[in-house]
Amino acid sequence: MPIKTGEQYEASLRAMKFKIYLQGELVENPVDHPIIRPSMNSVKMTYDLANDPQYEELMTATSHLTGEKINRFCHLHQSCDDLVKKVKMQRLLGQKTAACFQRCVGMDAINAADSVTFEMDRKFGTDYHKRFTNFLRRMQEEDWTVDGAMTDPKGDRSLPPHKQADPDLYVHVVERRKDGIVVCGAKAHQTGAVNSHWILVMPTIAMGKEDADYAVSFAAPADADGIFYIYGRQSCDTRKLEGGSIDVGNKQFGGHEALMVFDNVFIPWENVFMCGETEYSGLLVERFAGYHRQSYGGCKVGVGDVLIGATALAADYNGASKASHVKDKLIEMTHLNETLYSCGIACSSEGSPTASGTYLINLLLANVCKQNVTRFPYEIARLAEDIAGGLMVTMPSEHDLRHPEIGRVVEKYFCGVSSVPVEERMRILRLIENITLGTAAVGYRTESMHGAGSPQAQRIMIARQGGIEQKKSLAKDIAGIAHPSP
């Protein structure tokens, strides 16, 4: 069964035994929990669209392992065309959900792990790549949602992992056995963790020899013994408990993050893909980060499309759509959004094959893409809030709108253009609020800053890959300078 349906995906989650804490309580049924359910719906869309003939070219691919049609989220990029289709797929899903659809991290993780394990084996004579390929084949056959887990809590950022006061602030090996390893620690900000079948763990930074126990990569079932989750808070998240469909903004979809804790979790050797090879930890981080920074040129653009559309509707409903400054602000929002998309497409189009055959994006352009993402969505959101007006954050609740007495007052005083029902005006303003300030802001506004690395992380990579010395040589050639630089 290479491609699951959305219903099959939901059923597969129901069969799992997650241990999830949400607001201090153990969740018995995460699939139907009103706070978690919208995020599951977003992942479910990745399965539904893969079964829709209209989107088959973007949502599916042919496995290089089996020749079978598979969900693109389980695919290793075999060409620049694959890299471009990935970005287009992500934009499509952002348009369909206006939220984080959560499978990108796992897709980026498998593509990074493939080439790095291949190169480790070539140098050390290990069999990590064979193990990884076996895991990937199972992932494709079962159409698993895999959560890529990279970010450790880190503790004191001035200290390497082995010098932390608490060794568990980075995931590490605490025991090596004949049949596998035992790990402890945690991964923070884990997107889609409780909607995943498996977890693919990677180290979070480049490491020295003293950090060998922390240079570990492995796969584990998301509900394995010893793994539990503490679900992250989001702005306005308890609105999902109120039973309405207006105040939540996005009535069906959402995203989530969680702290994932490993409490003496056993990992058999067949699922271990790095164990002590510190010199390759940085390479795995760099390639995963590059792929994930490419991703933001797709997913954030798709959500941006929805936000721009919602803002244009707000202008219509406010009776302000013909104002020249409103038109100009919508143009600027579109310009910024398409610039993000252009970077995502550019770094994909200039990809190249790694030693394993899997294609890697142009890392410089991927980092430029993400650097822009740390800025442009903030300006897009600012302009959306400008056009929407203050009512976006001051209007009463939908319970007031439905109230038998004061509902008429709400209808009377919150009317914009008379031909537009007040409920529709409220719905579009709540959607803008949701994307810019509410639960979706985790997957749009704030994640644009910190997801796939903070802005400084991209600037470091841009400095490394920017080719300053080569550019100096170009200038010297043009200027007729022969002597070497000081």
pLDDT tens digits along 297-345: 999 999 999 999 999 999 999 999 999 999 999 999 999 999 999 999 9
- Tell me the per-residue pLDDT of 269-285, one tens digit each, with 9 for 90 and over: 999 999 999 999 999 99
151-164 average pLDDT score: 97
20-34 average pLDDT score: 97
For 237, 320, 331, the CA distances from 324, given in Å and listed in that order, are: 36, 9, 11
340-355 average pLDDT score: 98
Token reading at 231: 């679900």
pLDDT value for 356 = 98
Q: Is the pLDDT of residue 439 over 90?
A: no
pLDDT value for 128 = 98
Whether domain 283-469 has CATH 1.20.140.10: yes
Give percent of the chain above pLDDT 90: 96
Per the CB < 8 A criterion, the answer to whether 43 and 115 are in contact is no
Nearest CA-CA partner of 433 in 334, 338, 311: 311
For 85, 91, 163, 332, 356, the CA distances from 4, given in Å and listed in that order, are: 20, 21, 45, 40, 28
> Among all residues, which ones are annotated catalytic?
100, 104, 191, 257, 292, 296, 299, 447
Q: Is the pLDDT of residue 470 over 80?
A: yes
Nearest CA-CA partner of 100 in 154, 32, 46, 153: 46
pLDDT value for 1 = 64
Give percent of the chain above pLDDT 70: 100
- Rounded Cα distance between 74 and 82, Å, is 12
Q: Is the pLDDT of residue 165 over 80?
A: yes
103-126 average pLDDT score: 98
Q: Is the pLDDT of residue 435 over 90?
A: yes
pLDDT value for 26 = 98
